[in-house]
Amino acid sequence: MKIAIGADHLGAGLKNEIIALLQERQIEFRDYGVNGADPVDYPDVAEAVACVVRDGSFDRGILVCGTGIGMAIAANKVPGVRAAVVHDPYSAERSRKSNNAQILTMGSLVIGSQVARRLVSIWLESEFQGGDSLRKMEKISLIEEHYHSLSAEKRTCEEADQSSRSRDGGSD
């Protein structure tokens, strides 16, 4: 397994703790920064990691910022990427087993290094289970494809609601 890892300035310390875990487990990784306290915009790091995961250069990615939220939002803008914010063991497991998340994001201002190490371990050891979750992941992919195919057009929420009703075969 190959991991791409990155952080903004708020997550650099926790990222280094996770790197130590990857080294202990002899997992190949590449550090996409940052390594200092100088302010960095997390979308830049999130995009770099998400792109190398999407193109298959790396199997998975780990991103750390203050809360994990901004990194997840930014990484999820890259088509085909599923990033999940994880701060507890159950979410770490389900992000892989149910949601097939290729990128785990965490907040250094939310959890400490021991919890982070445990969550990363759980996430690394979990694999997508398929089953009913496969159908749901396929639906998410269809939503993504639809919005990316609209190019300059904007789909309204009303259209999305109507589409949802037609897929479900029902009405209100």
Residues with a catalytic annotation lie at 65
Q: List residues bridging with 63 in a β-sheet.
A: 6, 105
| Helix residue spans in the chain (DSSP H) | 12-24, 42-54, 69-75, 89-97, 113-125, 132-149, 157-168
DSSP string over 112-150:
-HHHHHHHHHHHHH-----THHHHHHHHHHHHHHHHHHT
Confirm if 96 and 66 have CB atoms less than 8 A apart: no
Omega within 30 of 0 (cis) for the link into 34: yes
